Amino acid sequence: MNSEGGQLDSVRKLGADEGNWVLSHKRGSSAGAESKETGLERGPKPCCFGVYDDMQRRSQHCGADWIDGFRSWNTALAATLFMFFATLLPTVALGMAIQHQTSDRMGLTEYLISNSVTGVINAAVGPQPMLILNPTGPITAITEKISALADRVHVDYFVLYAATGLFVCIYLVITAACGWSRHIRYMTRFTYEIFGCFVCSIYVQSGIHGTMLHFE
Cβ–Cβ < 8 Å for 127, 60: no
The predicted structure's pLDDT at residue 13: 44
Enumerate residue ranges in the chain where pLDDT < 70: 1-46, 126-132, 210
Please report the sign of the dihedral spanned by the C-alpha atoms of residue 98, residue 165, residue 111, residue 193.
negative
- In the chain the first and final C-alpha atoms are separated, in Å, by 94
- Spatial CA neighbour of 94 closest among 146, 157, 136, 147: 136
Specify the pLDDT at position 37: 52
